[in-house]
Amino acid sequence: MPYIESLTGFVVSLIVSGLVIYFVTAVLGRGKGIMTAILAAATGSVIYALSPLIPTSLLSTIIAGLVWLWAIRHFYDVGWIRALVMALAIWFVAGLVSAFLPTLPGPI
């Protein structure tokens, strides 16, 4: 059963992340559709899941951040500065969502 809970949590967080990316990119005028946003969210998950393979945490954070910026550039056809603005906006909105969403009353 723990695998089902983990898989469910991953899928839910992927969908929520995809919706955040979709919303932010649409507001910034670079929206390409929900599937692109979900693919970008999945790519970000893989990038950050692999980052602990780099021994130094600061170095892994920097490398993961740069790879994430490259992924945003790739998916949304933007330059480095616009990718950085998009990443910061995604980070900000995701922070708001993560602070608010767990406080909503659930069905249980």
pLDDT tens profile 1-53: 677 877 787 888 889 899 999 999 999 988 889 999 999 999 988 888 888 88
What pLDDT, on the 0 to 100 scale, is given for residue 103? Answer: 60
Average pLDDT of the chain, as a whole number: 86
Query: Looking at the 3D structure of the chain, how many domains does it have?
Result: 1
Residue 107 lies in a domain: no
- State residue 35 phi and psi, 5-degree precision: -65, -35
65 alpha-carbon distance from chain centroid: 11
Non-local CB neighbours of 83 within 8 Å, separated by 6+ positions: 69, 70, 72, 73, 76
**Of the candidates 46, 15, 26, which has an alpha carbon nearest to the alpha carbon of residue 89?**
26
**106 or 8, which is more confident:** 8
Residue 108 lies in a domain: no
pTM confidence score: 0.82
Cα–Cα dist 17/21, whole Å: 6
* Residue 86: pLDDT band with limits 50, 70, 90: very high
Residue 19 lies in a domain: yes
Residue 15 lies in a domain: yes
Residue 78 lies in a domain: yes
Residue 102 lies in a domain: no
**For residue 35, what are the domain limits?**
2-96
